[in-house]
Each structure stands twice: as C-alpha cells, then as structure tokens.
Amino acid sequence: MDFEQLSALSLQVGSTPLIDLFCPETKRPLNISAKLEYINPTGSHKDRESLLVVEDCLSKGLNSVGCASSGNFALSLAYFAQQAGLVCHIWISSHTSELRKTLLQMYKPNIHESEASLFQLVSISDKIMSNSDIYNANPGMCDLKSYANQSIAMEIVQQSSSITSIYACVNNGTHLLGLAAANTSLQINGVYTYEPLAASICGFSKVEGFKNINDAISNSSGHLHEADINDISIGQRIAQHNGLIIENASAATIGVAFRHMDPNTRVCCVLTGSGMKYPDEYIRL
C-alpha cells in the first residue's frame, strides 16, 4: 500500500460522534455525554494509534511492526499492518479468549503466545524487537500513540464547551496519558478494574508507569477509580437503554461516572470498545 492509499484509509479513523445519554428510569437526559470511539474500523480507539504507527513504520522504511496487547490494540495493529502490506508480530497471553484469538487471526499476524502477564509480555517483546528490524509499538516505546489519544480530548473540547471532565479506561496507561497530554482544561479521571468481565482493562498493568498515570490524573485535578461489577452493570444498563453496544470496559466508565458525577456539571465517558466484537463477554453480564 502506498501513502495515498493509506491516506484514504485514514478518512475512516477519528472524528467520532459525541452524544448525550438518557436515564433508563426517568427517560430524562443525564449530565453524561459519550464519545463513541468504538465506531472506528476495528471497533476501538486503538485505530487512531495504529494508523499513526503504520504510517511511521512505512516512513522509516521498515516492513515489520509489533506489540504486546491484551486485545484491542493487537486486533487494530494487525488490521492496519495487513492493509499496509507490513508483517505484524503480536505477543499475547495464552489466557486470551478463543474468540479474541480467532478475530486476531483474520488479519494473519505472527502470534506469539506466552503464559506471561501483559507487563511481562511487553518486556519480552521489547527485547526481541530491539534486536531486530521490527517497529516497536509497545507502551512507552512510541510517542505517536500518545499523540493519537490527544486528538480524542481535542475533539471533545471542540464538540462541547460544557463538558468539564473525562472518564476513561486505564490499563497500561497509554490512552489516559494521551488524553492528559492534550493540555485541555478537562479533568481526567481514570477507571480501572480487576473484574474479568472487563477483559480489555482487567488487571491494571500500569506499563506506562503508575507514577506517570497518577501524576497525569492529579495534575488535571482528576481521580483514579476502581470499577466493580455493579458499576459495569449500571453502565451497560444505561448504554443499552441508549442503543449502545459496548465492551464491559467502556461500560465501567459510564457506571463510575454515574456514581461520582456532580449533577451540576457535564462529564464525558470515552467509550473505547465495541461489544459486538466479543459477544461471549458481553452477554455474560
């Protein structure tokens, strides 16, 4: 694929809608808006990152790209790499669900499975890629991924002047650090969980460094929240009432925002993943 073709593909990424959510009981508007990042081509905000990574990989004259991922970034990077004619290497946990593996295999990456945790997989793959000509798209190794997430915060500011804070998933930290790096006046709130149902963020790996994540949140006067199963359930109930089919990880942001929001302010939940991709996780709730 040449850069002109890649430019055409880029038109499918970003500029996602911002909608207001309504309460299932009262049918009245909540003071919660939702940024629909899951309508990107592979169903997550990670497409913003993958597009920039693949463009940079091509500009450097490399023919291979790789990452360790718990799911969404792996699928996204494999898709964009295939479209660009790049070889893609993905390191995943052997505990990754069979459905996630099946979806990933559609784009024919070289999959490296291990019993290691995500944090360990990042370290393992970093060493392998540093001794080869594989473009390293791991957390902490690629500033472009932060830049890609900055664009989400900037779009939110452009789409609504009344939003004062963002609630966003945090696992390795790349997404949240990017939102904070946009230097908007928005308060950044991170949502993590250890609930297996929210597989995309379960475990809070903190690969980007807990201090970096915590500082980014604190500097924006935000907070770090742990979501429980009740938050996820409430978030899914609100999402479903509004016709949104989202991952449980995204539902966690809605549930936490609903629990903590000030009724006199408007907040935005960044819905990063589609529930259509992993129905085995979605319908178990």
Indicate whether 30 and 123 sit together in one domain: no
In this structure, which amino acid lies at residue 230?
A: N
Predicted confidence at residue 71, as pLDDT, reads 84
Cα–Cα dist 48/62, whole Å: 20
Contact 234, 143 (CB under 8 A): no
Indicate whether 35 and 56 sit together in one domain: no
Indicate whether 158 and 268 sit together in one domain: yes
Indicate whether 152 and 275 sit together in one domain: yes
Number of domains within the chain: 2
Indicate whether 149 and 233 sit together in one domain: yes
- 10-residue mean pLDDT profile of the chain (285 residues): values are 70 94 94 97 96 95 93 94 95 90 95 91 96 94 93 97 97 95 95 92 89 97 97 96 96 97 93 90 68
Indicate whether 127 and 58 sit together in one domain: yes
Contact 46, 76 (CB under 8 A): yes
Predicted confidence at residue 284, as pLDDT, reads 63
CATH number at residue 218: 3.40.50.1100
Predicted confidence at residue 97, as pLDDT, reads 86
In this structure, which amino acid lies at residue 17?
A: P
Alpha helices in 169-209 (DSSP H): 174-181
* β 134-136/187-192 pair status: unpaired
Predicted confidence at residue 2, as pLDDT, reads 55
Angle between helices 248-260 and 229-241 (to 10 degrees): 100
Boundary of a domain, candidates 111, 136, 161: 136
Indicate whether 11 and 72 sit together in one domain: no
Indicate whether 118 and 186 sit together in one domain: no
Indicate whether 231 and 266 sit together in one domain: yes
pLDDT digits (tens, 9 = 90+) for 51-87: 999 999 999 999 999 999 978 999 999 999 999 999 9
Indicate whether 20 and 74 sit together in one domain: no
Cα–Cα dist 74/68, whole Å: 7
Indicate whether 255 and 167 sit together in one domain: yes
Indicate whether 182 and 102 sit together in one domain: no
Boundary of a domain, candidates 76, 105, 136: 136
Q: Could you tell me the pTM of the whole model? A: 0.93
Predicted confidence at residue 114, as pLDDT, reads 93
Boundary of a domain, candidates 136, 162, 177: 136
Kindly tell me the burial class for residue 165, based on how many C-beta atoms sit within 10 Å of its own C-beta (0-12, 13-18, 19 or more): buried
* Domain boundaries, position 22: 3-44+143-282
